């Protein structure tokens, strides 16, 4: 062993090994090829930690965007006395100002507001919050101590700015037995002036960062669509302190809330740190008010809280309860209102789900890169064959020659590895879900780059050693391998994968958990592509001898091209496969991503009915000029249909055929006939007097009878006039009957709910309605259907899958360069010979173009076709929200497909031009002498 080690060391001191790293400077082509191949390999490995970090950051950002800013920060609740209200109490989040802030605080009480004579008393919440005047529309009055009531409250109480209001008792939210909330009644009486009237906020879109934290005060209650919440009385701190004093209340509930400072740039690690900080990190604990009585375990992960809060009916100080927490998140959720622990836990689940998909994809891309490195090592062998042969006949082992190759290629491998890591970093920042990645992910990428470097060096060594060892007699084995019908195995694997794709569905979030991406299902396009390309290549190989024979009668350019393809069929097959995978994976992932987005969008719009659906209170008209694309739909919810199986609940939508097309969402895939045709049929009375209708939904049999119940029961005899798969406004699990509103005229039916459906940008429409003073009460919203975080898990996974397409694309480019370089000698000599026989330069250039087109263009186009076919097979099996209609839609990524098809043509054209130029410049005598 020692002798072998000494021999190896001795070998390294010999010139061919000692000087190896500087021997290739005069062969930049080989260096560049190896560096490029190593870059693909390293980029595949390095992209994984970077991409997952980017996913983590974006997952947090997406979840934060779905919530009020304070929800992903922290909210601390406590009682506030009148004096504390006047003196602006201490900010509990002050020790965390680097991570949280600015802190907002408010206090809340419920009062019964009445006219001075005690009449028209109405219970209303009183909210004291700083800067509220900047976030309301003032209708009357101005700054000053006193109450601000909404125009709705003014209408109810007949009070206005300058009037004095009487508060006759009320209630204060409190915590009772076992932490249950209840309203503690208060009996005092107070007199306060009304200083202003503002436009009522009830039903306002709570997207506004300031008011979204008070959604519970502003949104409609469960009493029905017409039941707006009580109007909110707004006051400043001093006024609330006066009110508290006059009512004789010790304290009112107060809230301090602070959003996270970093917004969309918060990485998972930083979020974890923030959770740890808030959960009484030892150095911060003494300064955080909620950490009083908390002990931290030695590992810092378990908090123990000693609660010394006597229950209301118990003697003070008699109860000492102790609770232990499994983790900091649980502790934090118990003492602070913060979604951050949930968000971080869910982010981890999303990241793990995405990792389940991207790691195998990266492995595939890495294998492709390793294959390219192997091909580049083979090129090195060809270029250094003279010295390798000399050392071989002098008894140098294949392993030693493999080591020499690796040493000679060290500069290229180093440069390629660094470039790969850099490429992954730039691509992830540019194309990844978020441009923000954690420093630890960058370190992980660097380590992955080093691993890629080592793997590339090993591949180089092994390939060179194998080529040194390979004896002519062994070729029989390889020839035998060609007869194995491996594409059938790939086809079987694709069929299994297709089956799994149907079983998999897509990742669905359940709480913080997200189901994993099924790797076998994810790999369907790749397996399908490999099988299809394999079969195509098998057929091509079988047809090639006949094509070759037929080409004798063809013009010189195709004749030359066909014979060259036949001569180098293995290389051509490799290029076709690489091009097909590059184009195919890209087109498949782009098509499915586009289809997923379109499907989700369609499901949300079908559920809502349009872009925006707002409740239309009885007798109220929509403000004019808000949107020209409006239709009014009446909904009869208490309906049923009789089927052979029994009676099923249903809803009836009464639409206006004249305006429905303008205001409702529609996609041509919903029905075999156009919407205009459907509406025409609905509007045309039938001969027998039955109501023309369309029935869709979970139980949508061919019914002829429906009933609407509300007080009295009205029966409809309906005739289904069109077969429709999905219709705007349809419900999830309930049959929906669509009729023309005019068909119900004259019938004694219950009171329907009216909605206005409007097309247009959601924020613009809602903003316009709010600005016009219309109480916006959205009956259904996109968020009900769209769980962006779990949907994006699929989208991101497919996005990363496209990196396999990038790797295959680079593989193709490298393969074209290798193919042209490896064939340089034969091409130059053949061209010189053919020129003497009268072959025109233009003809030769055409021959090279046909030769390259037969590999790159045919491969890419084949891949695109197979990908679109595969996407057509797969899209129905990838339903982001199966509970909602319509079924998945197919949206081919036409732009990507056309671009890739043109890029393939451009690559073939440019490569042919480059090859011809180089052939023109090369001197056949010099080529012969150099032996390249």
Partner 1 sequence: MPVSDVAARCDGVSVDYRTASGVVPALRDVDAVFPRARFSVVAGASGSGKSSLLRVLAGLNRPTAGRVAVDGIDLTRLRAGRLRRLRRATMGVVLQDPADNLVEYLPAVAQVELAARLRGADRGEATGLLDTVGLDRRAGCMPQELSGGEQQRVAFAAAAIGDPALLLADEPTAELDTIAAEALVEAMRRLIDRGATLVVASHDTAVIDAADRVVTLRDGRVAA
Task: Name the site residues for partner 1 (rule: CB under 8 A).
Answer: 10, 14-16, 19, 23, 386-387, 389-397, 469, 471-473, 475-476
- In angstroms, the CA 95 to CA 6 distance is 63
Smallest gap from Cβ 446 to partner 1, in A, equals 34
Smallest gap from Cβ 22 to partner 1, in A, equals 9
Contact 476, 445 (CB under 8 A): no
The 10 Å CB-count burial string (b at 16+, else e) for 246-282 is ebebebbbbbbbbbbbbeeebbbbbbbebbbbbbbbe
Smallest gap from Cβ 837 to partner 1, in A, equals 25
The nearer residue to partner 1, 20 or 437, going by C-beta atoms, is 20
332 CB burial (10 A radius; 0-12, 13-18, 19+): buried
Smallest gap from Cβ 390 to partner 1, in A, equals 6
The nearer residue to partner 1, 29 or 892, going by C-beta atoms, is 29
Q: Which residues contact 236 (CB under 8 A, 6 or more apart)?
A: 128, 130, 145
Q: Which residues contact 471 (CB under 8 A, 6 or more apart)?
A: none
- In angstroms, the CA 820 to CA 157 distance is 88
Smallest gap from Cβ 394 to partner 1, in A, equals 5
Cβ atoms within 10 A of the Cβ of 288, count? 22
- In angstroms, the CA 885 to CA 214 distance is 33
The nearer residue to partner 1, 473 or 925, going by C-beta atoms, is 473
How do beta strands 691-696 and 513-514 pair? Answer: unpaired
The nearer residue to partner 1, 394 or 836, going by C-beta atoms, is 394
Helix, coil or strand: residue 370:
helix
Contact 903, 607 (CB under 8 A): no
Contact 639, 811 (CB under 8 A): no
Smallest gap from Cβ 547 to partner 1, in A, equals 18
Smallest gap from Cβ 479 to partner 1, in A, equals 9
**Region of 570 on the Ramachandran plot (φ > 0 left; ψ -120 to 50 alpha; else beta):** alpha
The nearer residue to partner 1, 326 or 926, going by C-beta atoms, is 926
The nearer residue to partner 1, 228 or 391, going by C-beta atoms, is 391
Smallest gap from Cβ 465 to partner 1, in A, equals 12
- In angstroms, the CA 843 to CA 831 distance is 11
The nearer residue to partner 1, 268 or 405, going by C-beta atoms, is 405
50, HSE (Cβ side, Cα atoms, 13 Å): 29
β-pair partners for 932: none
Smallest gap from Cβ 462 to partner 1, in A, equals 16
The nearer residue to partner 1, 402 or 663, going by C-beta atoms, is 402
- In angstroms, the CA 37 to CA 889 distance is 38
The nearer residue to partner 1, 389 or 621, going by C-beta atoms, is 389
Smallest gap from Cβ 583 to partner 1, in A, equals 33
- From the DSSP assignment, how many helices (H) and strands (E) are in the chain? 30, 22
The nearer residue to partner 1, 305 or 384, going by C-beta atoms, is 384
Note every long-range contact of 915-922, with CB atoms under 8 Å and residues 24 or more positions apart, other chains counting. 915/820, 915/827, 915/848, 915/852, 916/841, 916/844, 916/845, 916/848, 918/820, 918/824, 919/824, 919/827, 919/828, 919/831, 919/844, 919/848, 920/841, 922/824, 922/828
For the chain, the residue count is 932
The nearer residue to partner 1, 6 or 120, going by C-beta atoms, is 6
Smallest gap from Cβ 395 to partner 1, in A, equals 3
Smallest gap from Cβ 926 to partner 1, in A, equals 14
Chain-centre distance of CA 568, in angstroms? 44
The nearer residue to partner 1, 295 or 392, going by C-beta atoms, is 392
The nearer residue to partner 1, 380 or 791, going by C-beta atoms, is 380
Contact 597, 748 (CB under 8 A): no
- In angstroms, the CA 106 to CA 84 distance is 12
β-pair partners for 78: 254
Element (H, E) at 862: helix 858-874
The nearer residue to partner 1, 398 or 420, going by C-beta atoms, is 398
Q: Report residue 113 as tokens.
A: 């507001």
Q: How far is CA 106 from CA 126, 344, 552, 805, in A?
A: 10, 27, 90, 54
The nearer residue to partner 1, 181 or 929, going by C-beta atoms, is 929
**Helix-strand-coil split of the chain, %, nearest 5:** 55, 15, 25
Smallest gap from Cβ 562 to partner 1, in A, equals 17
The nearer residue to partner 1, 408 or 778, going by C-beta atoms, is 408
Smallest gap from Cβ 454 to partner 1, in A, equals 26
Smallest gap from Cβ 476 to partner 1, in A, equals 6
Smallest gap from Cβ 388 to partner 1, in A, equals 11
Chain-centre distance of CA 409, in angstroms? 40
Smallest gap from Cβ 13 to partner 1, in A, equals 8
Q: How far is CA 29 from CA 546, 817, 892, in A?
A: 37, 9, 39
The nearer residue to partner 1, 19 or 647, going by C-beta atoms, is 19
Q: Report residue 693 as tokens.
A: 């209708």
* Three-state secondary structure readout of 254-299: EEEEECECCHHHCCHHHHHHHHHHHCCCCCCHHHCHHHCCEEECCC
């Amino acid at each position: 062993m020692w002798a072998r080690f000494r021999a190896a060391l001795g070998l390294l001191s010999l010139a061919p090994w000692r000087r190896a790293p500087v021997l290739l400077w005069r062969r930049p082509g080989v260096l560049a090829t190896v560096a490029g191949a190593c870059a693909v390999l390293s980029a595949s490995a390095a992209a994984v930690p970077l991409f997952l970090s980017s996913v983590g950051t974006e997952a947090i950002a997406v979840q934060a965007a779905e919530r009020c800013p304070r929800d992903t920060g922290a909210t601390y609740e406590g009682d506030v006395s009148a004096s504390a209200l006047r003196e602006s109490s201490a900010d509990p989040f002050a020790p965390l100002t680097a991570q949280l802030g600015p802190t907002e605080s408010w206090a809340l009480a419920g009062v019964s507001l009445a006219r001075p004579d005690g009449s028209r008393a109405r219970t209303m919440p009183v909210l004291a919050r700083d800067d509220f005047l900047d976030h309301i529309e003032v209708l009357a009055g101005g700054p000053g101590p006193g109450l601000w009531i909404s125009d709705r409250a003014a209408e109810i109480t007949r009070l206005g700015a300058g009037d004095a209001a009487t508060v006759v008792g009320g209630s204060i939210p409190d915590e009772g037995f076992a932490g249950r909330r209840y309203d503690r009644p208060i009996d005092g009486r107070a007199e306060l002036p009304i200083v202003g009237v503002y436009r009522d906020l009830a039903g306002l879109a709570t997207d506004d960062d300031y008011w979204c934290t008070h959604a519970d005060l502003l949104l409609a209650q469960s009493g029905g669509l017409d039941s707006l919440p009580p109007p909110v009385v707004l006051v400043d701190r001093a006024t609330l302190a006066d009110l508290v004093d006059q009512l004789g209340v010790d304290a009112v509930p107060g809230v301090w809330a602070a959003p996270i400072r970093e917004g969309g740039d918060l990485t998972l690690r930083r979020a974890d740190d923030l959770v740890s900080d808030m959960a009484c990190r030892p150095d911060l604990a003494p300064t955080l008010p909620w950490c009083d009585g908390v002990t931290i375990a030695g590992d810092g992960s378990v908090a123990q809280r000693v609660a010394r809060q006597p229950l209301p009916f118990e003697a003070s100080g008699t109860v000492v309860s102790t609770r232990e927490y499994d983790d900091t998140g649980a502790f934090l959720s118990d003492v602070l209102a913060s979604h951050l622990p949930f968000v971080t836990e869910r982010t981890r689940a999303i990241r793990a789900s995405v990792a389940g998909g991207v790691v195998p994809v990266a492995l595939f891309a890495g294998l492709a890169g390793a294959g390219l490195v192997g091909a580049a090592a083979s090129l090195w062998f060809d270029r250094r064959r003279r010295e390798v042969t000399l050392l071989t006949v002098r008894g140098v082992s294949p392993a030693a020659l493999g080591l020499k190759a690796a040493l000679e290629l060290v500069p290229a491998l180093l440069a390629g590895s660094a470039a790969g890591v850099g490429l992954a970093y730039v691509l992830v920042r540019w194309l990844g879900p978020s441009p923000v990645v954690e420093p630890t992910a960058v370190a992980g990428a660097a380590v992955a780059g080093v691993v890629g470097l080592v793997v590339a060096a090993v591949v180089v060594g092994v390939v060179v050693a194998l080529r040194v060892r390979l004896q002519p007699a062994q070729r029989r084995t390889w020839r035998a391998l060609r007869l194995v019908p491996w594409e059938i195995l790939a086809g079987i694997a694709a069929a299994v994968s297709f089956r799994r794709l149907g079983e998999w569905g897509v990742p669905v979030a359940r709480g913080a958990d997200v189901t994993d991406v099924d790797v076998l299902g994810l790999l369907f396009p790749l397996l399908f592509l490999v099988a299809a390309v394999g079969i195509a290549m098998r057929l091509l190989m079988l047809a090639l001898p006949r094509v070759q024979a037929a080409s004798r009668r063809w013009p010189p350019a195709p004749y030359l091209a066909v014979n060259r393809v036949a001569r180098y069929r293995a290389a051509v097959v490799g290029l076709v496969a690489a091009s097909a995978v590059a184009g195919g994976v890209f087109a498949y992932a782009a098509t499915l991503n586009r289809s997923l987005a379109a499907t989700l969008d369609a499901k949300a719009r079908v559920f809502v009915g349009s872009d925006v659906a707002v409740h239309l209170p009885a007798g109220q008209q929509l403000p004019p000029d808000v949107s020209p694309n409006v239709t009014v739909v009446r909904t009869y919810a208490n309906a049923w249909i009789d089927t052979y199986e029994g009676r099923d609940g249903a809803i009836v939508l009464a639409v206006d055929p004249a305006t429905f097309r303008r205001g409702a969402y529609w996609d041509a895939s919903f029905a075999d006939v156009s919407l205009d045709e459907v509406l025409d049929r609905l509007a045309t009375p039938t001969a027998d007097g039955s109501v023309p209708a369309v029935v869709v939904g979970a139980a949508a049999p061919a019914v002829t009878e429906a009933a609407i119940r509300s007080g009295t029961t009205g029966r409809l005899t309906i005739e289904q006039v069109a077969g429709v798969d999905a219709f705007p406004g349809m419900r999830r699990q309930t049959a929906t009957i669509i009729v023309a509103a005019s068909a119900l005229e004259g019938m004694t039916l219950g009171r329907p709910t009216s909605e206005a459906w409007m097309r247009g940008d959601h924020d613009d429409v809602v903003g316009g309605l709010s600005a016009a003073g219309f109480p916006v009460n959205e009956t259904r919203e996109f968020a009900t259907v769209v769980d962006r975080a779990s949907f994006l898990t699929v989208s991101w996974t497919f996005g990363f899958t496209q990196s396999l397409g990038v790797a295959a694309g680079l593989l193709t480019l490298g393969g074209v360069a290798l193919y042209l370089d490896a064939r340089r000698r034969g091409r130059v000599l053949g061209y010189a010979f053919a020129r003497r026989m009268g072959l025109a330069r233009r003809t030769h250039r055409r021959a090279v173009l046909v030769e390259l087109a037969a590999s790159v263009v045919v491969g890419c186009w084949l891949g695109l076709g197979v990908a679109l076919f595969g996407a057509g097979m797969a899209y129905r099996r990838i339903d982001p929200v199966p509970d909602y209609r319509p079924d998945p839609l197919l949206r081919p990524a036409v732009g990507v497909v056309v671009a890739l098809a043109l890029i393939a043509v451009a690559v073939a054209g440019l490569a042919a031009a480059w090859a011809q130029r180089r052939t023109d410049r090369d001197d056949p005598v010099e080529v012969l002498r150099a032996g390249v």
